[in-house]
Every structure is written in C-alpha cells, then in structure tokens.
Amino acid sequence: MEICSRGLGSGRAWIAHGLLAVAAIAAAGYAFRRKSSHFRSRAVGIIPARYKSSRFEGKPLAQILGKPMIQRTWERAKLAVTLDHVVVATDDEKIAECCRGFGADVIMTSESCQNGTERCNEALQKLKKKYDIVVNIQGDEPLIEPEIIDGVVKALQRAPDAVFSTAVTSLKPEDGFDPNRVKCVVDKHGYAIYFSRGLIPYNKSGEVNPKFPYLLHLGIQSYDSKFLRIYPQLPPTLLQLEEDLEQLKVLENGYKMKVIKVDHDAHGIDTPADVEKIEALMRERNIS
C-alpha cells in the first residue's frame, strides 16, 4: 500500500515536472520567435516607374481616360489602409514632375536600376523613415484594388516566417499554355511551392483539366525590408534562369513566400493596344 502510494506520488510529480518543462520550452520558443521577428507594422508602398521601355516608351505617362496611368495606380494605392506611406520611385524627370503635379511623393533613383525590385530597394534606402514591409506596386496595373495591397501586407504580418508575399487569382482555362501567364502552386498553408510559365500541376492527359483550380500569379509583391536589401544581390539561380522568373530565386534560396488568393481580373498594360482595351472595359464598368 505504502509503496503503491509513494509510487503514485512520484509519478505525479514526474508528470507535473514534465508538463512544466514542456511549458518552459514552449515559452522559450515563443519568446525567441517574438524576438527574432518582431511584428512588422510599418509598411510603405513603392511604385517603381521608368520612362524607357522596349515595348512601350513612356508607359507610366500614358493617358487612360484622360488621366496618366501612374496617377491611377497611385490613387488606388493611396486607398490601401495598411500603407503608412506611398511613393513613386523613378529615374525620369518627366515622370517625377507629373507625379509631384498630382500630389505624389517622389524618390529619384538611378538609371542603373535593372528592375523594379532594385528600384524599390534604392528608394527604401533613401526614405527618411524606417519601414518593416515594402510593397512593390507595379505602375502598369491601374485597376489594382487597394484590398489586394492590404491583403499582401497582412499576409506577411501574419506569417512571421515568410519574407515575401504575393497574390494569385484563378487562371482562365484558355491561358493554361500561355507562357506569359505565370502559374503557381501552393502548399496546404498557403506558402508558394513553385511558379512556372508552363502548366502546373501538369495533367497526364496533356490538357487543361477544367475541374482543377489553377492559380495565376499577379505582379504585386511585398517584402520584408531586411530581405529586400539582399534580394537583388542574391546570385541568379538555375530554375530562375530557366523559367525567367525572378521570384524563383526566393524559393530556390529556401525562403518562405506567402501567397494569398484574390478575385481579380488582371489588366496589365504592356503595349499601347492594351490601353484601348482597358479604356473600353472602364467605360463598360462606369469607372471614370
């Protein structure tokens, strides 16, 4: 009897001790996570804009129903509630002048920036205030919904292990084999697994499966600002070069990317002909 009760007592003590130890480990882990990735609260939206373009010279200044495209993008971005600040980053005086004219803050960046990401990084270094998150808002999506901008910011804030976030929408079946439409596959938790210009996942029939929810990648992306400093400097990677998709460099280096799914009709403007298309659509939808 005595032995039995003593045994029980020490058993309880062991269990209690074990629970405390588990709690202590969990608390330490929590404290570590909190410390290593403090809540990223401050976000800036940067609209990179350059004048020169092989397919469409002066694109940011193209008039869309009487307003420059860059102004339309900026006005949409200003409606995003998660952004503390919105700036245009450009190397061109004409663009800068136009943007100051409608009230935008402009950061001049060097002509040597190879791409929008580099321009965002340079602009971030030149901003006086510190930001935790940078949203790269493509200037050629004048109908971008502010809710999508807020969505990628919140996605990054809710996923402290991710350094990058972006958005996808449903792929139209007819775009399945269009290499200009980038497809994406994600894991169960909404982290990107891969991006491709080919159809992913691939159905052995060789055709688009009308029942499969394929995802189309949208251009908007947001970065952890510390990650943005190193991103342009990471050497090109094998898959990135083969697919000609910058974002693969992030995944190939083992970083996590959070992906949100949104309802959005992509109306990116690549050529002067796209301007007419978008104007027709805006008239149809009574957007002025």
- The two tokens of residue 104 are 């935008």
CA-based nearest residue to 40, from 79, 80, 83: 83
Kindly calculate the radius of gyration of the chain based on its CA atoms and give it in whole angstroms.
24
- Would you say 98 or 214 has its CB closer to ligand NAG? 214
Burial 248-275 (b: 16+ CB within 10 A, else e): bbbbeeebbbbbbeeebeeeebeeeebb
User: 118 or 141: whose CB is closer to ligand NAG?
Assistant: 118
Alpha-carbon distance of 281 to 169, in angstroms, equals 19
**Shortest Å distance, C-beta 115 to ligand NAG:** 4
Report which residue type is found at 196: S
Smaller CB separation from ligand NAG, 174 or 263: 174
Closest separation in Å from C-beta 134 to ligand NAG: 13
Can you say whether residue 210 is alpha, beta or left, with left for phi > 0 and alpha for psi between -120 and 50 degrees?
A: alpha
SS3 112: coil
Q: Please say which residue, 120 or 168, places its beta carbon nearer to ligand NAG.
A: 120
For residue 263, what are the contacts with CB-CB under 8 A and spacing of at least 6?
169, 170
Q: How far apart are CA 264 and CA 267, in angstroms?
A: 9
- Least separation in angstroms between residue 96's CB and ligand NAG is 22
**Which residues bind to ligand NAG, rule: CB under 6 A?**
114-115, 117-118, 203-205, 207, 209, 231-232, 236, 246
Amino acid at 194: Y
Nearest distance from residue 194's CB to ligand NAG, in Å? 17
Q: Which is nearer to ligand NAG, 146 or 253 (CB)?
A: 253
Q: Least distance (Å) from ligand NAG to the CB of residue 154?
A: 23
Q: How far is the CB of 136 from ligand NAG (least distance, A)?
A: 9
Phi, psi angle pair for 236, to nearest 5°: -55, 150
Place of tokens 């394929």: 214
Give least dist CB 176 to ligand NAG, A: 11
Nearest-approach distance from CB 246 to ligand NAG, in angstroms: 4
The two three-digit tokens of residue 112, written as one number: 């040597």
Q: 66 or 235: whose CB is closer to ligand NAG?
A: 235
Q: For ligand NAG, give the closer residue by CB, 237 or 279.
A: 237
Q: How many CB atoms lie within 10 A of CB 25?
A: 10
d(CA 272, CA 62) in angstroms, rounded, equals 8
Nearer to ligand NAG, 66 or 210 (CB): 210
